[in-house]
Amino acid sequence: MNDYPSLQSLTINKISVLVTGSSGFLGQHIIKLLQEQDDSVSSIVCFDKRPYRNNLGHKMDKPMKYITGDIRDEKVVTTAMEGVDCIIHCAAETSIDLKADEKTLYSVNVEVS
């Protein structure tokens, strides 16, 4: 008899993951990886200012919850975090327009992050 736990007693806890900026380039690719290659993930919460669309055509086997809101809205972000074990923060304000709103860029990319 040994003091090691049996294999039956070893379980892998599945986690729920929140991805901010889920509709952006990076967020979309992270969700694809979580859906297709990470067996430790049980569910995914997608948070973005734009509604999530599966632009990459990846599998959608794991449950996904969609929250649309402003990353600067503490109440909405708190709601998105409920029951989540891990946060992958990809939300950012980006602009290739020379007339970008510098106040918004600073607020989202510096103050919130």
pLDDT score, position 11: 60
Residue recorded with tokens 């889920």: 22
What are 2's strand-pairing partners? Answer: none
* Averaged pLDDT in 10-residue chunks for the chain of 113 residues: 59 89 96 95 96 94 96 95 96 71 75 71
58 Cβ contact list (under 8 Å, min separation 6): 31, 32, 35, 36
pLDDT score, position 96: 64
Query: In the CATH hierarchy, which fold is given to the domain comprising 14-112?
Result: Rossmann fold (3.40.50)
pTM of the model: 0.81
What are 89's strand-pairing partners? Answer: 20
Amino acid letter for position 67: I
Find the largest Cα–Cα distance for the chain.
Answer: 72
pLDDT score, position 99: 64
What are the structural domain ranges in the chain?
A: 14-112
